[in-house]
Structure 1
Amino acid sequence: MAKIAVLGCGWLGMPLAEHLVELGYEVNGSTTSLAKLNLLETISVKPYYIDLENDKTEYLDLFLDKVDLLIITIPPRMNEEHPTYSTNFEKLMPYLQRNNVNKVIMMSSVSVYAPNKEIVTEETQQYSREKTAQQILDAEQVLLSNSFVNACILRLGGLFGPDRKPVHYICKKAFLDNPELPVNMIHLADIISFTTAIIQNRFQSDCIYNIVSPKYKSRLDYYTQQANENNLDLPPLGINDWEMARKVSGNKIAVYTGKDYQY
């Protein structure tokens, strides 16, 4: 693969695009912010203004021209009265076919899984009934059910890394709820590392991988480490609602790529 398009150059998409440029790939990047167009150029990513939700798609054909792989990093909107997430994926399909782009990586989320007493793997079929989780599952199916597209779905844990530290939010709360429940987190560097490994290894079609760090036993374990690193004090511990427990395994992608989690 020589040319890659990253749809959604935000907190995850922009550093991923920059890393791919550093590896020698030609990279197109999209944004819904006109102010970010120049910023993308400064990291040698060819910028395009694309907003699927508002039908700003006049540059989509140019964005996908001669592209070998599309990476989708756009998240769903929370609490939409009329969800648009999977519809946005459907809008992409004719453009992919017209430009013969059949390899797609989608950044999804482990939030699609329902609480479970067992370890959750990619084979688990119990899914959350939350509206946002259903939106994400519907978007996954747009890709997985299309006979033209060879999709790789990466279900990410809770995101953390530079400029994204959930511990700051937790420290403002009255209590650290569910301190003993399992935690499912993933650092930006690990997402980039595993995504790059998938691109550089043989691309598998219609595959699903969880990307979740194995290094944290519980919410208290994770937030204590983060509080210490950031010189913060955690709030008092709240109660544990074990009906909400869900431990997701990210081992499959580590085995496939031969890479270890850094964080």
Structure 2
Amino acid sequence: MNYNRISILGCGWLGYPLALDFLSKGISVKGSTTTESKIETFQEEGIIPFLFTLGETKDQIYKDFLENSDVLIINFPPKRIPNIIEVYQKQVQSVLPYISKTQKVIFVSSTSVYQNTNNEVSETLQIEPEKESGKAVAIVEKLLQDELGDRLTTLRLCGLIGYDRLPGRFLANKKEVLNGDAPINVIHRDDCIGLINAILKKNVWGEIINGCADHHPLRKDFYMQAALKISLTPPTFKKQDKIAYKIIANTKSKNVLGYSYIYPDPLKLI
């Protein structure tokens, strides 16, 4: 890996263990958080901490956060608020002027940008997001692409699971849940970290890449088994003549990055 200094914008559920992984490889890591109580933990682990909220901070903090970094990883989702599109766009725009002309960027995006096609979808699909969160992410993808060009790689991750994110809790006790016969799209956190490392190791830039487990069990099978596994009441699913879904293809991540998924079968994670 030729990148010795990395800044992670958003050291939360994914960003923090990603930072620890980089540190174990001898990489210097700057990590941002909006939570003051995390600063001491970052320092103890060796992460150079930065406390700020995008759009509400002084220019010098952005400069210090990005100074001398080879790669910036933008890793925070849009907040579920009424003006989600406007706010998310402004948050990312606030840091763009401080990215140097030589820095590479990985944008941790989401497969929420894809519309339901009742078929497999790949990175070549002309995206038409259906939810506001997906629209917000799609706009930021374009914003970054227009600004950074081939210095940007966008990693579209599907539903994040693993460790304390136990899927059995998500739908436990719920009744008449829709789309029980739809295939699911999930990815384990370890595979998210693996994909980011593969992008850096292979020096893959100017690409859009999906991250998703190989297998896509039915929603009802996955969430019923997951709830039972942790002794919760499984959900019930409504019978429907029509369902809406998409199957996220991960072929490009394997071919371009040479990546083999650690957790290819979500049912084996339960």
TM-score by length of 2: 0.89
1:51 alignment partner in structure 2: 53
Aligned 1:173-192 pairs, distance under 5 A: 173-192=174-193
Shift of 1:11: 0.6
1:146 alignment partner in structure 2: 147
Aligned 1:107-126 pairs, distance under 5 A: 107-126=108-127
2:163 alignment partner in structure 1: 162
Choose which of 79, 82, 85 in structure 1 pairs with 2:81.
79
Residues 241, 126 of structure 1: alpha-carbon distance in 2 compared, 3 angstrom cutoff: farther
**Residue 257 (str. 1) matches residue 260 (str. 2):** no
Conserved? CA contact 1:3–1:26, under 8 Å: yes
Shift of 1:93: 1.5
User: For residues 103 and 87 of structure 2, what CA distance do their matches in structure 1 show?
Assistant: 23
Aligned 1:124-135 pairs, distance under 5 A: 124-135=125-136
Shift of 1:116: 0.2
Shift of 1:243: 4.6
Choose which of 20, 34, 50 in structure 2 pairs with 1:18.
20
Q: Match of 2:261, as an amino acid?
A: Y
Q: Deviations over 1:114-133 (max 9, x none)?
A: 11022100001141232211
Q: Match of 2:47, as an amino acid?
A: V
Shift of 1:148: 6.3
**Residue 203 (str. 1) matches residue 207 (str. 2):** no
Q: Which secondary structure state, in structure 2, belongs to the residue aligned with residue 5 of structure 1?
A: strand
Q: Deviations over 1:37-78 (max 9, x none)?
A: 111112211101121143355411111111000001111011
Residues 242, 208 of structure 1: alpha-carbon distance in 2 compared, 3 angstrom cutoff: farther
Q: Which secondary structure state, in structure 1, belongs to the residue aligned with residue 107 of structure 2?
A: strand
1:239 alignment partner in structure 2: 239
Conserved? CA contact 1:181–1:242, under 8 Å: no
Choose which of 61, 64, 78 in structure 2 pairs with 1:62.
64
User: For residues 254 and 230 of structure 2, what CA distance do their matches in structure 1 show?
Assistant: 28
User: For residues 20 and 56 of structure 1, what CA distance do their matches in structure 2 show?
Assistant: 27
- Unpaired segments ≥5 residues, structure 2: 264-270
User: For residues 59 and 241 of structure 2, what CA distance do their matches in structure 1 show?
Assistant: 45
Q: Match of 2:192, as an amino acid?
A: I
User: For residues 194 and 89 of structure 2, what CA distance do their matches in structure 1 show?
Assistant: 27
The count of aligned residue pairs is 260
User: For residues 177 and 53 of structure 1, what CA distance do their matches in structure 2 show?
Assistant: 38
1:29 alignment partner in structure 2: 31
Q: Which secondary structure state, in structure 2, belongs to the residue aligned with residue 226 of structure 1?
A: helix
CA RMSD of aligned residues (A): 1.9
Q: Which secondary structure state, in structure 1, belongs to the residue aligned with residue 170 of structure 2?
A: helix
User: For residues 259 and 156 of structure 2, what CA distance do their matches in structure 1 show?
Assistant: 17
Q: Deviations over 1:173-230 (max 9, x none)?
A: 123431110111111011001111111112322x101101122322123224423543
Q: Which secondary structure state, in structure 2, belongs to the residue aligned with residue 59 of structure 1?
A: helix
Conserved? CA contact 1:115–1:243, under 8 Å: no
Choose which of 5, 8, 20 in structure 2 pairs with 1:6.
8
TM-score by length of 1: 0.92
- Unpaired segments ≥5 residues, structure 1: none
